[in-house]
C-alpha cells in the first residue's frame, strides 16, 4: 500500500491537470503494486527551499511495505520518479528531492485494524 506525497512550491496553476492519476499509475508500475492500492497526495503552493534557494522545487515522499527498503531498490525507483517529475513539473533534477520510507504492515491502519491482520 504505497503512499506518494508530492510537495512543491509551484502554485496549483502550474500543476498539470491529471498529474495525480499519472503519478498514481507511475508509482504502481515503479513499485510493482496494484494501482488501486496507491494513495497519492499533491500539495502545491508550499513554502520550500532546496540548496538555499526558493526557486521552484519539489519533495516527493514515497512510503511503502517491502519495496523501498534498500539502496538498490531505491536507486532504480529514484531514476524513474525523477524522469516523471522533471517532465511533468518542468524542473531540473537538482530542484527535486525524493525521500523513501519503508513501512511495516503494522504501521498502516485499514478497515478498523492494521494491514498485518488483513
Block residue for cell numbers 513554502: 47
Strands (E), the chain: 3-8, 39-43, 58-65, 96-103, 109-110, 113-114
The counts of H helices and E strands in the chain are: 2, 6
- Active-site residue 2, yes or no? yes
- Check 2, 11, 44, 56 and give the catalytic one: 2
- Residue 80, classed as helix, strand or coil, is helix
**Phi, psi at 16, each rounded to 5°:** -60, 140
State the catalytic residues. Answer: 2
Amino acid at each position: 500500500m504505497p503512499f506518494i506525497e508530492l510537495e512543491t512550491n509551484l502554485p496549483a496553476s502550474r500543476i498539470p491537470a491529471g498529474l495525480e492519476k499519472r503519478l498514481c499509475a507511475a508509482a504502481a508500475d515503479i513499485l510493482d503494486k496494484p494501482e488501486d492500492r496507491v494513495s497519492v497526495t499533491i500539495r502545491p503552493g508550499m513554502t520550500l527551499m532546496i540548496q538555499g534557494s526558493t526557486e521552484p522545487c519539489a519533495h516527493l515522499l514515497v512510503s511503502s511495505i517491502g519495496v523501498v527498503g534498500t539502496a538498490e531498490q531505491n536507486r532504480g525507483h529514484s531514476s524513474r520518479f525523477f524522469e516523471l517529475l522533471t517532465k511533468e513539473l518542468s524542473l531540473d533534477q537538482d530542484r527535486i528531492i525524493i525521500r523513501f520510507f519503508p513501512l511495516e504492515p503494522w504501521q498502516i491502519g485499514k478497515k478498523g485494524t492494521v494491514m498485518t491482520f488483513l
